[in-house]
């Protein structure tokens, strides 16, 4: 069980800058999903905007979730997709694995 926790974060790009490996747990509209996340990082288009909730481990056995409408414009996120989330910078869009930090702070929409 403990090896699973460490494997979940094994591909994080830059932990010191706040990036964590995460998994998409839901995709829908901001108005429907924002309240389901531990931390709502908003969206750029109101309640009807596309929105994803991702779950990450920050250490230990517990996980946290972040909800955001910011991700790379060319990404078509679906439940189960691996992404990177910046837990220190709520304005940073989600990144595809291996791309974190390349567009930090730039909203995708």
Residues 40-55 as b or e (16 or more Cβ within 10 Å = b): bbbbeeeeebbbbbbb
Rounded CA separation 20/54 (Å): 11
Asked whether residue 102 is assigned to any structural domain, the reply reads: no
86 or 73, higher pLDDT: 86
Q: What pLDDT does residue 16 have? A: 83
Total tally of structural domains belonging to the chain: 1
Asked whether residue 18 is assigned to any structural domain, the reply reads: yes
Asked whether residue 98 is assigned to any structural domain, the reply reads: no
> Which residue range is the domain that position 49 belongs to?
2-86
Asked whether residue 65 is assigned to any structural domain, the reply reads: yes
Asked whether residue 23 is assigned to any structural domain, the reply reads: yes
Task: Please write the tens of the pLDDT for every residue from 29-72.
Answer: 999 999 999 999 998 888 999 999 999 987 777 899 999 999 88
Asked whether residue 91 is assigned to any structural domain, the reply reads: no
Asked whether residue 99 is assigned to any structural domain, the reply reads: no
Asked whether residue 109 is assigned to any structural domain, the reply reads: no
């Amino acid at each position: 069980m403990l090896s699973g926790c460490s494997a979940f974060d094994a591909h994080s790009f830059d932990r010191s800058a706040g990036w964590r490996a995460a998994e998409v747990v839901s995709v829908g509209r901001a108005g429907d999903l924002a309240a389901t996340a531990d931390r709502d990082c908003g969206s750029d288009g109101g309640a009807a905007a596309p929105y994803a909730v991702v779950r990450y481990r920050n250490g230990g056995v517990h996980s946290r979730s972040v909800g955001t409408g910011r991700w790379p414009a060319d990404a078509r996120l679906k439940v189960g997709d691996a992404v990177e989330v910046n837990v220190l910078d709520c304005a940073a869009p989600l990144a595809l694995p291996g791309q974190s930090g390349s567009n930090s702070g730039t909203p995708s929409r």
